[in-house]
Chains A and B, each alone.
Chain A
Amino acid sequence: MPTTTNDIQSLVDQEYKYGFVTDIESETVPPGLNEEIIRLISVKKHEPDFMLEWRLNAYRRWITMKEPKWPHVHYPPIDYQSIIYYAAPKSNADRPKSLDEVSPELLAIYDKLGVPLQEREILAGVAVDAVLDSVSVATTFKNKLSELGIIFCSFSEAVQEHLDLIKQYLGSVVPYSDNFFATLNSAVFTDGSFCYIPPGVRCPIELSTYFRINAAATGQFERTLIIADKGSYVSYLEGCTAPMRDENQLHAAVVELIALEDAEIKYSTVQNWYPGDKEGKGGIYNFVTKRGRCIGARSKISWTQVETGSAITWKYPSVILQGESSVGEFYSVALTNNYQQADTGTKMIHIGKNTHSTIVSKGIAAAHGQNTYRGLVKVLRGADNVRNYSQCDSLLIGDQCGAHTFPYLEAHNRTAQIEHEASTSKIGEDQIFYCKQRGISAEDAVSMIVNGFCKQVLKELPMEFAVEAQKLLGVSLEGSVG
């Protein structure tokens, strides 16, 4: 490995010399990955030995693994030794001083989405005290939640304060050895969200990363763990409809959901990271592992995603249906414009009896976009009376884009009832002209047709989120038709 031990050592020394709490703003480690770097990350985060061991195990596993080649996406090789695996939050000096310094394109998008002024500053990473306001909002929420016994904090805080829960559940759904990107994440993740809902509690608000302190800067390797104890309910919103300023190209997050008996987790994502420019330059590689485990009987996990950003999206939010009569759902809209590529779908693994799953996937491809649905429905031998309904629809805009569907089915139990429907349609010139002839602009026509196409999924999103997602779909498709 190219990074010299000396560099690392001097950094570690420095850290102890100055103390990393006060000096944290300017700290980064040299690029590259090796055991020293992992130790360093763990030390910086004051982690217990348990965490360090876990990270090192993941790292040792990772160096034996190969990047998956099966997704229907293409990108130049990633140089993992050129990535900086630990960067503390940027100091204010490096941030834009005001919105005047932020790219006008980004501002135009905020404008179209109707993002409030103050939020724009936070999203664009402007160095403002306004963040303090959001902190106080967050604190208010936090107090309210803690009265109910709900824990909602950063992953790092959970490692410090709730180590028992971390020890019990971390890696219980996505083990550190799971896949190349999840394993990398396990070795180097820097932060993320942690959430625990105690038995019988119905979380009264939608939990959103928005309200989590320090969440404005999305980490490159995020880790989220949500545990819904018996009979509890939580709705969790990830992401934000407005694009964040982000300099990392590779994102490899891991999300683990655990639902105990009669618990329900609803996890909604709107992903709108930088998709790259019209020629396909730049943009985020979003390689995510999201999985839920319905451990308890009658538990339910529901994923809803609207994916409009990133140059490449590779994710399969899945559900392991272990508890009897548990329910898994996957509702997805994935949109690819310009040179974006998405390979996304779900896995529903039916282990328990009477388990049901629903898959609704809507893929939209415009310009040179490539959109792939990849899904697996697996029914294990002991899983009697399983039901699955899958629907995969593709919408093409123009004739240079592509839609691909790979539904896999493995049923080892004869009582399973599995239904699959698929369709491909195209927004044609005729439809656009018809709308224009009625006074509706091409852009409005496309967003109307696209929203109609996605209705089934959008209605699964919490109300305000759905409205924003609708606008976002329109903005993301701008310029896709003449």
Chain B
Amino acid sequence: MEKERLLTVRNLHAKAGDIDILQGVDLTVNAGEVHALMGPNGSGKSTLAQILAGRDQYEVTEGEVIYRGKNLLELAPEERACEGLFLAFQYPVEIPGVNNTYFLKAALNAIRKHRGEEDLDAVDFLALVKERLQLVEMDPSLLSRPVNEGFSGGEKKRNEIFQMAVLEPILAILDETDSGLDIDALRIVAAGVNRLKRPDNATVVVTHYQRLLNYIVPDFVHVLIDGRIVKSGDKNLALELENRGYDWLEEQPKGRRKTPQRGALVS
């Protein structure tokens, strides 16, 4: 069966102010796939993730992004979310005064409304919350606290995955969800992500450690350096990066980086 094409990024260039950050990114993600996006600090991974989610402080200067047949860059951030795009933030934001459960319910119902579905009533919502809470083994006391306020680094990351578990996105981008998690938490979060995996959704895992990829096994690994995907491969590429670092890729002549990588990825 033909897998649905979820995301196509073509020759994406973007800058923040005067600084060029993305310099021609190509990426294709199909339903059912797990992609790992790796690369050294400052290479543009979060920028790519934020642009996909609709952050307006970046300016796209060239290229296009197609998400499930739509021009993603024309959609408002909340429309993207309602269309099933989810970003687990590298730095989840604190929202004082807004109850975590209340927030999640507002989010879920906004998405349901977009799909033309009824609001989930309080009883069904709580049942869902309980079930998904177990998936990420999150402390239930975090539910009644303000969103992320005073949460530890690890609790914030877990809360992101918990939200993802409730919202059931089609394309999830996890930006460094592993950083700040100890090894047990990492295992639990990874198990949660794996259990949410379905033939009709996909995950892009952004990380600069291969550690997480022991638990979430990627179908594809891409290396982003200086705003370009310089190499793509399978899970073995991650192991190679673990052994050799990024230096050997950074030293490649400029000309080769311009070669679009997407050909290798279309399945």
Contacts and interface: CB of A to CB of B under 8 A. Distances in A.
Interface of A: 425, 428-431, 433-442, 444, 448-449, 451-453, 455
A437 B87 contact: yes
Contact of A437 (B81, B96, B106): B81
Interface residues on B, range: 20 to 34
A433 B110 CA distance: 15
Contact of B95 (A434, A439, A441): A434
Nearest to B163: A438
Contacts of B76: 436
B87 A452 contact: no
Contact of B77 (A431, A436, A453): A436
A177 to B, nearest CB: 43
B97 A439 contact: no
Given A436-B81, A437-B77, A452-B97, 5 more contacts: A430-B93, A435-B95, A437-B86, A449-B95, A449-B97
B110 A440 contact: yes
A452 B81 contact: no
Interface in B84-103: 86-87, 89, 92-99, 102-103
Given A436-B54, A436-B78, A439-B78, A444 B110 contact: yes
A430 to B, nearest CB: 5
Nearest to B87: A437
Given A436-B77, A437-B77, A440-B110, A425 B98 contact: no
B55 interface: yes
Nearest to B53: A437
Contacts of B163: 438
A453 B95 contact: no
A448 B54 contact: no
Contact of A434 (B93, B96, B102): B93
Contacts of B104: 438
B99 A441 contact: no
Contacts of A435: 95, 103, 107
Interface in B185-207: none
Contacts of B167: 438-439
Interface string B133-165: 000000000000010000000000000000100
24 contacts: A428-B93, A431-B95, A433-B53, A433-B55, A433-B77, A433-B93, A434-B89, A434-B92, A435-B95, A436-B54, A437-B80, A437-B89, A438-B103, A438-B104, A438-B107, A439-B167, A440-B106, A441-B110, A448-B103, A452-B95, A452-B97, A452-B98, A453-B96, A453-B97
Contacts of B55: 433
